[in-house]
Structure 1
Amino acid sequence: MFAGIDEVDWASMEHAYGPADDVPDLLRGLASADPSEREAALDGMYGAVHHQGDVYACTLACIPFLFELVVDPAVPDRGGIVELLTSIGGIDIDEDDIGEAEDEAEAEGAANYAMAAAAVSAGAGVFFALMADDDPGVRVSAPLALATLHGSPARVLALLRERLTAEPDDEVRLALIEAAGRLALRHGPLTGRIADWLSRLAAEANPPGLRLAALAQLARCAPGALPGDVVRVVAGLLRQLRSAAGTPEVSAAGSRALGAAADPAPAEAAPVALVGQLRALSAEDRAGRTAPWTADLLRTLHVGLDDRVADRTALLADQLCSPDPGQRIDAVRMTGGLIRAWRGSYGELVRLVGEQLVSKEPRLAEAASHVLEELFGLAAPAGDALAARVAADPGAWVKEWASGPPGLGSAVKALARLGDARAVPALAAALERPEVPHDAGYAIGHLGPAAAPLAGVLRRRLSEVRLDEEAYDRASPLLAGLTALRAGEAAPEVLRILRGAPEYRGEWLRTAALRALGAFGPAAHCAVPDLRALVRRPGTAGAVEAAEALWAVDGDAAAVLPVLIEGLQAEHARERRAAASALGRLGPHAAVTAPRLRALLLHEELWLRVDAAIALWEVSGRAAESVPVLLAAWEKNRHVRVRVAECLARTGAAGAGSDAARVLRAELASVRRHHAMDGGYGSHDTYEDEKLLALCRRALLGNTGKGPTT
C-alpha cells in the first residue's frame, strides 16, 4: 500500500495551512489501527487538504492513495474515506466555469475541481463492489458515491434496486433510497422511473422508516408525485415508528457506521479531532432515540415540500404533539427553520413550541426558548409560557460564557423582544449584576414605555463605568438601553462618557454616546456646548454623528450643515452614507444640498445611492428622481428593502397604480421571506421580514405619518 507516496513532491504543494509535506502522514494515519489516529487523520484531510471543500494540487495527488485505502478490507472505517472521495469529486465544474474565472487563482481552483471530478469519477467503478462490503459503514457510504460520481446512472439505479431487496441493514437501505433521489436530481431522464419506484415503495407494506425515506426523496426529486394526503400519511408513519420503540429499525452495526454510540464516552475519552467531536455530538443527539435518522428524513421532506407552508405547518404541529421528546426536539428546530424562511400563519405552531418550555427534557426546553428568541412579535402565542418559564427559573436569566461578557438567557430575551412587560424584573436583576449582559440594552429597546422603570438603574450603572480600556464593553449595553428609552435625564452621565472616552475603542464609545444624546433630543440641552465644539472640527471622526446629535438637541441647521456637506465628500462610502442620512433628517432645512445628493444617485455603491435618494426626497420634497433609484435597488439587493419601504411608508409615494405600489404588492404576495437563503441565516431575519411586511402595508394604505416604523 502507498507505493510511490514518497516519490511525490509534497513539499512543493500547499494546502489550506501551508506546505503539504504532512499529507503522507495523514494518508498513513487513515490506515492506522488506532481509532484516534484515524480520526485525527480524517480531520486533517478535511481541515487542510480538502478545507471547506477546496481542491488543491495536493488534494489531487491524494486521490490514488485514497482509492487504495477504500478497496483494502483490512482498513477500518473506510466509509469515511468513501465520503471524503465523494466530496472531493462531487463538485460539478465545466469548461465555462474555468473560462469565466476572474483571475488566475480562481481559474486554477476551477481547473482543480474539474480534474478532481474526472479523477474520482474515473475510479468510481470500485464502489460497485463496495455495495456488498462486509462493513455496513462502507455500504452506507457507497450508494451516494455511485449516485454522485459514476457515469452510468441507469446501471447505478439497477444496482440500487437490486441491493434494496438484499440488504439486511435498515440504515443502509435508507442510504440506497437517498442515492436514488440523488440520481434523479442529477440525471433528469431517469426522474420518472425513479419517482415511480419511490411511489411504490412509499405505498407498499414496507417498514415505516423505508416508506418515510421514499416520501422524503419524492419530495426532493418529484414533489408532484407525492400523495395528496402526505401530511396524514407521514403522521401515521411517525406513529408507527413510535409504537416500535421496543424494536428499533436500525441495527447496532448501522448505527455505529453513522457514528452513533450506545453509551456516551467517558469524559477522559473525549475526542480531540473535529471529526470526533462531531461524531460525539451526533451520538449525544441520537442517544435513546428509536429511529434517530427520522430527523434527517423529515428535514429532507420539508426541503422538498418547499413553499407548501400549510402542509409543513400541519406536519410540524403533529410532531410537536408527539409523546416522543426526540421527535418534538426535531419539530421545534424545524419550526424555527420554517418560520425563518417562509411567511405564514404560525399562531398554533408557536403556541405548541411554547408548550415545550415546561418539558423535563432540558434539550427540548432549551431548543424551544432559542426558537422563540428569534421570533420577536410572532412569539406572542407563547407569551404566557415564556413568562412562566422566566418566573420559574431566575438562574437562567443570564447566560455565562467560557469567554466574553455574559448574555441574557433565551427565555428572557424572547419575552423582552415580544415587548412583554413581564420581562422587566429579570432585566432589572440583570442590570444589577457586576457585569451587565452585553445584549441587555437592545432587549430593553423592544419593551417601549414598560421599560421606563429601568432608566434609573441604567443611569446609575453608567455613572459607575470606569473610563479605561474596558469602558466600551461595560458602557455600550447601558447606552443602548438609555437610547431606546430616550431617557434625557441621563444626559450628564452620557456626557461624562463622551468627554472621557479612552483611546481604545474610543470612537465606538463616542458614537454610542452621541446617538444617546441625539435620542434624548432637547432634554439633552446641557450637551450643546460639547456638541458645538465637536462640529467645529469637520472631517474628524464623529463629526457627522455630533452634527446629527446637535440638530436633534438644538435644531441649529446653520451649525450642522457645513459638517454634513463635508461628510458627503468623505473618502469612505460609509461616512458619506451617514452624512446623507443626517441631511435627510434636516428635511427642507437642507434643501441647499439637493444638487450634491443628486450627484450621488449615480454612485457605484448601492447603499449610498439608496441613502442619497431618500435624503434627496426628504430635503426637496420631490419623489420623481428618487423613486426609480430606490425601486432599482429594491430589485438588485433584497437587503435594502426595509430601508426603502420605510421611506415609501413615510412619504406616501405608493399611490394606486404606481410602480412603487406594484413592487410592494408583489412583496406582500410572496410566501418566501425576502432575505431567506439556503445554508445560513441571521438572528433578526424574521424580525426584519415582518417589519418589511408591516411597512409595505402601511405604505399602500397611504399612511405618511412620521411615527415609528417598527
Structure 2
Amino acid sequence: MPERTEMVDAVDWEFLAGGPTGVPKALHALWSGDRDGRQSAYQLLADSLARFHGCTPASIAAVPFLIDVVADPAAPDRFGACQVLRMIALGDESHWLVECPDPADDRARVAALSGADRDAAQGAVEAYDAVRAGVPVYLAALASDEPPVRLHAAHLLAWFPEERDTVVPALTRLIESEPAEYAEIAAVASVAAALAGGTAADTTLVRALNIRRGAASGTGVWASVTDRLFGRHKPFPPERWAASIALARVLGDPGSDVLEQVSECLTEAGDAVLNWPFLNGDMATLAALTLAAVPDGFDPLAAGLLRSDPEEDRALRFHALVKAAFPDGPLPDGTAFPDLTDRQKTAVRTLADAEAWREGWYIEAVTTGLGLPFGDDALRAWIG
C-alpha cells in the first residue's frame, strides 16, 4: 500500500465535496481484503466523484489515490480504479465519441472565460488533466499479468491523444502480443489506439490491425449477453469488428472490405457485447459513429440502420446519421424536402423507414433542433 494512502484522512473531503461524503472511507476500502466491500467502494466513488463530469474539487483530490491503486501490482481490483479514473476524466463517454472534443481547445476556451462561467468549466478541465498525469502508470499497467487490468488500462488510455507518441506504440505492442485466449484485450487496444491518435503513418499499428482483422470468428466468452443467458453459442467476431473499426478511423479511406465489416458490426453486434467497455458494451453504436466519421461510410450507415433492430438502443446511431448529413446545423426556415441535398434526403428517408421516432425524446431533440419534423406521420408527410 503506497504511503500516500495514509494521507487520505488529512484531506478535508467534506469541504471539497460540499457536505458529508463517504469518499475517504471508500478510498481506504480499495485496499481491503473484502471483495464485496471493494466493489461497494468503487460504486460509491463512481457515483459521488464522476456523476458531474468530475467537476467537484473532491474528484480532483481523489485522482492521485486512485492512480496509486493502478500503480501497485499488489493492489486488488486495479481495473476498478481505471474505470473510475476514466469516468472522472470524461464524464459521459458518448459525448466524447459523438462530439470529438479537443482537450487543448477546451483548455483554451476555459482560459478565455471569466467569473462564474470559468469556474464552472474549469473543474472538468482540471479533472481531465489530473487523470492525464497518470498516463505513465496506465502504460505500465498494460504489462500486468491480470487480464482485466490490461483491458481497462487500454480503455483508459484511449482518451489522451496529446500523449499519442507514447500511448499508440504501447497499445500497438499490446495488439501484437495478446494471445487468442485474450482476444478481447487486443480488440479494446485496437480501438483505443485509433482514438488515441493512431494514423496511417503508424505502419506497425496498421499491420497489427490487419492481422487482427483476419482473425477467425470466436465463440464462448465472446458472446452477447443475450446469447449467454439463453445458452446459445453462435459465432461472434468482435475482434475482427474492432480491428475494422480501428482501421477505418486510422486510415480514413480504408476500402470497401473494411467498411463492409464495420457495417456488419452495426447490424449484427447488438447492444450488449461482453467484455467491451466502450459505451457499456454497445459496439454497434461505435460502428455507426465510425461510419459517420469516414468519407465513404454514410451509405453503409444508412443501409445498416434500415436493417437495424428497433428493440435495440439506436439513439446515438441515428444521431450519427443526421450529424453526418447535416454538418452545418439547423436548416433555414421554410426549407422543403426537395431543397435538401441527396445525402440529406437519404438521411430523412432512413429516419422514417427505420422508425427513428421509436427512440423518443433524444432523437426528437436532435431532429427538431435541425428543423426536421418529428414523428412517423409528420416526417412522411414532409417527404411527400
Same structural fold, with TM-score higher than 0.5 when normalized by the shorter chain: yes
Decide whether the 8 Å contact of 1:216 with 1:298 is kept in 2: no
Which of 88, 93, 97 is the matching residue for 2:109?
97
Which of 224, 229, 239 is the matching residue for 1:210?
239
Q: CA deviation at 1:56?
A: 1.2
- The alignment status of 1:155 with 2:163, answered yes or no, reads no
Decide whether the 8 Å contact of 1:46 with 1:52 is kept in 2: no
Partner SS state of residue 31, structure 1: coil
The 3 A distance-change label for structure 1 pair 203 and 66 is closer
2:195 aligned partner:
182
2:28 aligned partner:
28
Give, in whole Å, the separation in 2 of the partners of 1:167 and 1:209: 15
Deviations 1:320-377 (A, max 9, x none): 7xxxxxxxx6x8526776568758xxxxxxxxxxxxxxxxxxxxxxxxxxxxxxxxxx
Deviations 1:81-106 (A, max 9, x none): 112213323582644322344642x3
The 3 A distance-change label for structure 1 pair 315 and 115 is closer
Decide whether the 8 Å contact of 2:302 with 2:347 is kept in 1: no
User: Greater CA radius of gyration, 1 or 2?
Assistant: 1
Matches within 5 A, 1:649-688: 665-666=339-340, 670=344, 671-673=346-348, 680-682=362-364, 688=374
Which of 210, 235, 248 is the matching residue for 1:219?
248
Deviations 1:494-543 (A, max 9, x none): xxxxxxxxxxxxxxxxxxxxxxxxxxxxxxxxxxxxxxxxxxxxxxxxxx
2:149 aligned partner:
138
Partner SS state of residue 55, structure 1: coil
Decide whether the 8 Å contact of 1:127 with 1:146 is kept in 2: yes
- The alignment status of 1:299 with 2:285, answered yes or no, reads yes
Decide whether the 8 Å contact of 1:220 with 1:303 is kept in 2: no
The 3 A distance-change label for structure 1 pair 303 and 97 is same
- The alignment status of 1:12 with 2:15, answered yes or no, reads yes
Deviations 1:392-435 (A, max 9, x none): xxxxxxxxxxxxxxxxxxxxxxxxxxxxxxxxxxxxxxxxxxxx
Deviations 1:287-322 (A, max 9, x none): xxxxxx6xx33332222222856424655677x7xx
Give, in whole Å, the separation in 1 of the partners of 2:263 and 2:59: 42
Partner SS state of residue 32, structure 1: coil
Decide whether the 8 Å contact of 2:186 with 2:239 is kept in 1: yes
1:173 aligned partner:
186
What code does the residue aligned with 1:219 have? Answer: A
The 3 A distance-change label for structure 1 pair 335 and 121 is closer
Q: CA deviation at 1:73?
A: 3.0
Q: CA deviation at 1:215?
A: 1.0
Q: CA deviation at 1:228?
A: 4.9
1:86 aligned partner:
86
Q: TM-score, normalised by structure 1?
A: 0.39
Q: CA deviation at 1:119?
A: 2.6
Q: How many residues align?
A: 322
Q: CA deviation at 1:143?
A: 1.4
1:311 aligned partner:
300
Give, in whole Å, the separation in 2 of the partners of 1:52 and 1:135: 30
Decide whether the 8 Å contact of 1:144 with 1:176 is kept in 2: yes
Give, in whole Å, the separation in 1 of the partners of 2:257 and 2:202: 20
Q: CA deviation at 1:51?
A: 1.6
- The alignment status of 1:193 with 2:202, answered yes or no, reads yes
Give, in whole Å, the separation in 2 of the partners of 1:76 and 1:158: 27
2:45 aligned partner:
45
Q: CA deviation at 1:67?
A: 1.3
The 3 A distance-change label for structure 1 pair 43 and 96 is same
Decide whether the 8 Å contact of 1:216 with 1:297 is kept in 2: no
Q: CA deviation at 1:44?
A: 1.8
Q: CA deviation at 1:133?
A: 1.0
What code does the residue aligned with 1:99 have? Answer: A
Decide whether the 8 Å contact of 1:147 with 1:153 is kept in 2: no
Decide whether the 8 Å contact of 2:213 with 2:243 is kept in 1: no
Give, in whole Å, the separation in 2 of the partners of 1:209 and 1:118: 32
Unpaired stretches in structure 1, ≥5 consecutive residues? 242-249, 260-277, 283-292, 321-328, 344-634, 646-659, 699-710
Give, in whole Å, the separation in 1 of the partners of 2:167 and 2:330: 42
The 3 A distance-change label for structure 1 pair 341 and 12 is closer
The 3 A distance-change label for structure 1 pair 74 and 304 is same
Deviations 1:34-87 (A, max 9, x none): 333222222222222222313211111111111121222333222121122133
Give, in whole Å, the separation in 1 of the partners of 2:265 and 2:86: 35
Q: CA RMSD in A?
A: 4.4
Decide whether the 8 Å contact of 1:231 with 1:314 is kept in 2: no
Q: CA deviation at 1:162?
A: 1.8
Decide whether the 8 Å contact of 2:142 with 2:149 is kept in 1: yes
Q: TM-score, normalised by structure 2?
A: 0.67
What code does the residue aligned with 2:187 have? Answer: L
Unpaired stretches in structure 2, ≥5 consecutive residues? 92-102, 218-236, 323-327
